[in-house]
Each structure stands twice: as structure tokens, then as C-alpha cells.
């Protein structure tokens, strides 16, 4: 994974600070028949200015990872069951409500 350039880190004044830290992320979907464990412990970090590509077979959880971070899981069935999503120092899983 490419590192931030010194220039971009310095310009942000946040050297060595992670922008996004995902740890132990578990997301489930409650369906009529069963609970689908879509994410079973996702961990990664991103620095400011860094680009991250996610690669994996269809259904492995790429989209659900992004939807979990953005708090755009389907409200009725999707749920972050465990883990942390720390963005700029705040754990988004502690927030209540949905984004505007």
C-alpha cells in the first residue's frame, strides 16, 4: 500500500496519524430465514491521502464494508454487530441516527 508523501502529510499537519482505523468489523443482515454474517472481522487502516483498493470475489464483503463505514446499511436488516470504525479519532459506531 503506498505511503503518504511527506508533502501531503506535512500539508495536513497530521503526520503519523491514521485517518481511518477499522478493527474487528462485523456486519450482519437479518433476513426472513436467517442472520447472514456478511463481515466477520474486517481490519485495516488508512492514512490521510492514501488510496486503498479492495479486491475479492463477488460476495466477499467489499460493498458491505463501504456501506458500513458510510452508515448506509439498509436500516431494517443491516447492522454493525461488532468492531470499531474510528474516523479522525471518533468511533462512528458510537454515533446514533443516520447521516443526513
Binding mask 48-87 for ligand ADP (x = CB under 6 A): --------x-xxxxxxx---------x--x----------
Smallest gap from residue 67 Cβ to Mg ion (A): 9
Asked if 32 interacts with ligand ADP (CB under 6 A), we say no
The rounded distance, in Å, linking the Cα atoms of 27 and 34 is 14
CB 5 within 8 A of CB 51: no
Q: Specify the stretch interacting with ligand ADP by CB under 6 A; choose among 3-11, 13-21, 28-36, 43-51.
A: 28-36
Phi-psi region of 91 (alpha: psi -120 to 50; beta: other; left: phi over 0): beta
Q: Which is nearer to ligand ADP, 46 or 67 (CB)?
A: 67
Extract the C-alpha cell encoding 64.
458491505
Identify the DSSP state of 94. Answer: G
Interface pick for ligand ADP out of 31, 33, 99, 100 (rule CB under 6 A): 31
Question: Among candidates 90, 49, 31, 42, which has minimal Cα distance to 67?
Answer: 42
Q: Which residues contribute to the site for ligand ADP (CB under 6 A)?
A: 29, 31, 36, 38, 56, 58-64, 74, 77
Amino acid at each position: 500500500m503506498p505511503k503518504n508523501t511527506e508533502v501531503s502529510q506535512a500539508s495536513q499537519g497530521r503526520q503519523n496519524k491514521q485517518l481511518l482505523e477499522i478493527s474487528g468489523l462485523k456486519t450482519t443482515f437479518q433476513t426472513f430465514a436467517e442472520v447472514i454474517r456478511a463481515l466477520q472481522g474486517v481490519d485495516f487502516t488508512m492514512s490521510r491521502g492514501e488510496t486503498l483498493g479492495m479486491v475479492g470475489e463477488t460476495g466477499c464483503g467489499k460493498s458491505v464494508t463501504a456501506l458500513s463505514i458510510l452508515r448506509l446499511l439498509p436500516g431494517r436488516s443491516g447492522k454493525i454487530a461488532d468492531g470499531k470504525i474510528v474516523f479522525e479519532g471518533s468511533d462512528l459506531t458510537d454515533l446514533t441516527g443516520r447521516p443526513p
